[in-house]
Amino acid sequence: MIRLERIIDALPAGFPALRDEAYAEGYRMLDTLADEWTSGATRFDRPGEALYAAYVGDRLAGIGGLTQEPAITDALRMRRFFVALAYRRRRVGRALVTALLGDARRHGRAVTCNAAGGSESFWEALGFAPDRRDGRTHLLSR
């Protein structure tokens, strides 16, 4: 069973291990998340923003957030999205995206993402269309 928690005050327990796994795969987005969280530069606390942790049992299985999209007025952008290898293709990513998109869809906001190589089909299965510009790879229209 997948349990989602909104992150508000502190990065979740288990985050260092998830960050290490991302780093070992060549991804630095969780290093950026930790740095921006610590500095206060990005806390996912502006209108429409959110950061969620996904747990399977007691293990942190994934993390992902939404921030305001600087290139499109009133749009949001998927940020710092990562699912541990052991939990890929087990609906953890889909659960995170569904939670994050809930508010965006209710308010008719477009959402962008910069899909990591190999994850394009995941985002496209969730309704995102290829749209390569302004640092993004995909767009989910309003």
pTM for the full model? 0.93
Residue 130 pairs in a beta bridge with 138
Q: How confident is the model at residue 97 (pLDDT cuts 50, 70, 90)?
A: very high
Which residues fall within 8 angstroms of residue 25, CB to CB, at 6 or more apart?
85
Given a cut of 90, is residue 106 above it in pLDDT?
A: no
- What pLDDT was estimated at residue 104? 83
List the domain boundaries for the chain. 2-140
* Four-way CATH pick for 2-140: 3.40.630.30, 1.20.1740.10, 1.10.150.120, 3.40.50.2000: 3.40.630.30
- Could you give the C-alpha distances from 20 to 13, 47, 51, 65, 85, in angstroms and in order? 13, 30, 19, 18, 12
**Nearest-angstrom CA–CA distance, 60 and 56:** 7
Q: How confident is the model at residue 13 (pLDDT cuts 50, 70, 90)?
A: very high
Given a cut of 90, is residue 114 above it in pLDDT?
A: yes
pLDDT average, residue stretch 98-119: 88
Given a cut of 80, is residue 118 above it in pLDDT?
A: yes
